[in-house]
């Protein structure tokens, strides 16, 4: 049976199939390792205004416990508090994270004044200032898109 199959494939085709198999295995391992990156808030770096739009500059930590290096090419997403949209989050500067290390990614949060006012009105009406922040991002990690979600509670 092998002889019959072997006669159907030429040596270059066998090499091509082997190469594709190795490439697929490498991509699967890279995607799996990228899924194990740990993202966490690392502190506020500043506040500024672009016109009337307030912008918070935040450090987003990322831990890489794997044996592979990763390049985060870009990040973009939204920030919600108590299920209300309050801002657009982004970073379009590539950052490389070596194996078994961590890095800080500077991100910008362009705040939505309507969302912030809505949360202020809700806080005054309910008498509570608890904010459940939900950061939802898509990160381009080595040209593979990875969803990143961080939840953070502020207040009582």
Confidence of residue 17 (pLDDT cuts 50, 70, 90): low
- Give the whole-angstrom CA distance, residue 45 versus residue 104: 11
Fold type of domain 38-154:
Immunoglobulin-like (2.60.40)
Where do the H-state alpha helices sit in the chain? 2-8, 11-34, 113-126
**155 φ/ψ angles, rounded to the nearest 5 degrees:** 100, -170
| pLDDT, tens only, 125-153 | 877 778 888 999 999 998 889 999 999 88
Residue 127 CA to residue 73 CA, distance in Å, equals 42
**Those residues with Cβ within 8 angstroms of residue 57's Cβ, 6 or more apart along the chain or in another chain:** 44, 45, 46, 47, 48, 106, 107, 108, 109
Q: Where are the domains of the chain?
A: 1-34, 38-154
pLDDT exceeds 90 at position 71: yes
Give pLDDT, residue 16.
66
Distance between CA atoms of residues 102 and 61, nearest Å = 7
List, for residues 96-120, the tens digit of each pLDDT value.
999 999 999 999 999 988 888 888 8
Average pLDDT of the residues of the chain? 83
Integer Cα distance of 13 and 22 in angstroms: 14
């Amino acid at each position: 049976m092998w002889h019959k199959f072997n006669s159907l494939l030429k040596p270059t085709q066998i090499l091509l199939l082997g190469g594709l198999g190795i490439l697929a295995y490498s991509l699967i391992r890279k995607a799996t390792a990228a899924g194990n990156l740990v993202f966490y808030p690392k502190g506020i770096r500043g506040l500024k205004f672009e016109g009337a739009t307030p912008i918070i500059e935040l450090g987003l930590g990322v831990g890489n416990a794997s044996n592979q290096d990763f390049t985060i090419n870009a990040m973009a997403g939204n920030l919600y508090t108590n299920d209300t949209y309050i801002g657009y989050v982004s970073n379009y500067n590539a950052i490389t994270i070596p194996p078994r290390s961590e890095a800080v990614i500077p991100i910008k949060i362009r705040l939505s004044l309507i969302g912030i006012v809505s949360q202020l009105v809700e806080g005054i009406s309910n008498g509570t200032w608890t904010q459940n922040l939900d950061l939802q991002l898509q990160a381009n990690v080595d040209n593979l898109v990875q969803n990143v979600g961080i939840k953070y509670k502020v207040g009582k």
